[in-house]
Chains A and B, each alone.
Chain A
């Protein structure tokens, strides 16, 4: 039962972060800010949900389920390495193709 609560909390948190990511991706004004939301929020939400799934899988603890959980953790580790690299590459692509960062002109004038 405790496990279930932990799983639900982790997955729920992950979903919350993903919701925040989605809002960020939709609402932020320019590419760099959107990428900021996508890069961070996407990674953390993936990690949390995967962690929850890996824990849930340990429900019936045995060698085979432990192995599967280890595999899920491998996906997690892979995301942990690959996702920031991908974010870096995309940001770089945007920078190379001369996307201008967004400025809040009103604020600067004020």
Chain B
């Protein structure tokens, strides 16, 4: 951690958060929120949480903002003044926020000092992870090791959460017939922008290769299935933005996306079930060395972590595309942003 940066970024963030809430234009709020996420990512790298920063960069600054824009695109941008009879809400909000702030402030007095190496959080469990994880799993990136092995059950359900989210969006918005879309948009104006098209077409392959690299290299550097998956999904979003939705859906149809989302979770839980079938506990990868020739239990863990990450990446990519296509077209898959 670098405390001078820390203070500056936090100041930035509070300003941004305040203005996000105040701005009267939803698109403006989405943009300022994007800036807020950019800064948040910076804050995390500065505190040493590189994997969190990577995820936040991919999710918060990238995909969330695009999703906000897509949602605003399909609805309205306006924030109207509140009607008088709804005023009490403001009081409720103030009281609740005040209460929460008071309670949290009361607690914060008892906290160990910030960044104190002898705080309980840094001395109870984490030394074991730091000192033993490399020997246990042969993965230098401790976050990947803990994420995909020690706490892999959490991660399995994290993948399930994103799967559920995609399915939920499809369930809520997805329409089989195009006529049932109630809102028509004036789409005559959107002309084809050659510059954007050419540049995106040139950049997308490199971005996809980079995303695959992020998935595969998660053992040794920040990154992994989730970050890579979001980046892969984001490349398709870029294509959908610079060309149109049809072009992307021609390559990744909705059915294909749904299948891929299933496959990813299935791959993850399949690896878990495989170890169950071989007689070890669920998600105990070390047993898999009986299947992989000439590997010990430790290397088997490392390989299984890679398999798991690939599963996560597939699901996340498919779900990001699914959520974007549904949000930007109101579920019709007709024409996007």
A and B: interacting chains:
yes
Q: Is the CB of B189 within 8 A of A85?
A: no
Complex contact A88–B189 (CB within 8 A)? no
Q: Tell me whether A89 and B189 are in contact (CB under 8 A).
A: no
Instruction: Mark interface residues in A57-94 (1 if CB within 8 Å of B CB, else 0).
Output: 00000000000000000000010011001001100100
CB of A106 closer than 8 Å to a CB of B: no
Q: Which residues of chain B in 162-217 are interfacial with respect to chain A, using CB atoms and an 8 Å cutoff?
A: 189, 193, 195-196, 199, 202-203
**Is A96 an interface residue, CB under 8 A from the partner?**
yes
A82 close to B193 (CB less than 8 A) = no
CB distance from A100 to the nearest CB of B (A): 19
Contacts of B196 in A (CB 8 A): 85, 88-89
User: Within 8 Å CB of B189, what residues of A?
Assistant: 96
Contact indicator per residue, chain B 219-249, by CB within 8 Å of chain A (1) or not (0): 0000000000000000000000000000000
In the complex, chain B residues whose CB is within 8 Å of the CB of A81: 199, 202-203
> Are A92 and B203 in touch, CB under 8 angstroms?
no
CB B31 to nearest CB in A, in angstroms, measures 11
The residue on A at minimum CB distance from B200 is: A85
Q: Of all chain A residues, which has the CB nearest B207? A: A78
Chain B residues with CB under 8 Å of A89's CB are 193, 196
Complex Cα spacing A92 to B190, Å: 11
Q: Is B193 in contact with A92, judged by CB distance below 8 angstroms?
A: yes
B63-82 Cβ-contact flags toward A at 8 Å (1 or 0): 00000000000000000000
Identify the closest chain B residue to A81 (Cβ): B199
| A88 and B195 within 8 A (CB) | yes
Q: Residues of B contacting A78 with CB < 8 Å? A: 203
CA of A89 to CA of B242, assembled, Å:
10
With both beta carbons as reference points, the residue of chain A lying nearest to B189 in the complex is identified as A96
Chain B min CB distance to A59 (Å)? 20
**In the complex, what distance in Å separates the CA atom of A53 from the CA atom of B202?**
26
Nearest neighbor of B190 in chain A, beta-carbon distance: A96
What's the Cα separation between A62 and B255 when bound, in Å?
Answer: 48
B299 to chain A minimum Cβ distance, whole angstroms, is 23
When distances are taken between beta carbons in the complex, the residues of chain A under 8 Å from B195 are 85, 88
Distance between A82 CB and nearest chain B CB, rounded to angstroms? 7
Chain A contacts for B199, CB-based, 8 A: 81-82, 85
Expressed in whole angstroms, the minimum distance between the Cβ of B55 and any Cβ of chain A is 19
Q: Give min CB distance, A76 to chain B, whole Å.
A: 14
Interface centre among B189, B195, B202 (most CB of A within 10 A): B195
User: Contacts of A85 on B, CB cut-off 8 Å?
Assistant: 195-196, 199
Q: Which residues of A have CB within 8 Å of B203? A: 78, 81-82
Residues of chain A with a CB closer than 8 A to B202's CB: 81
Q: How far is the CB of A21 from chain B (nearest CB, A)?
A: 17
Interface string of B138-157 (1 = CB under 8 A from A): 00000000000000000000
A78 to B: closest C-beta gap in Å? 7
State the Cβ distance, B230 to closest chain A Cβ, in Å.
18
Residue of B at shortest CB range from A77?
B206
List 9 additional contacts besides A82-B199, A89-B196; criterion CB under 8 Å. A78-B203, A81-B203, A85-B195, A85-B196, A85-B199, A88-B195, A88-B196, A89-B193, A92-B193
The 6 closest A-B pairs by CB, nearest first: A85-B199, A88-B195, A89-B196, A81-B199, A85-B195, A85-B196
Between-chain CB contacts (< 8 Å), 15 pairs: A78-B203, A81-B199, A81-B202, A81-B203, A82-B199, A82-B203, A85-B195, A85-B196, A85-B199, A88-B195, A88-B196, A89-B193, A89-B196, A92-B193, A96-B189
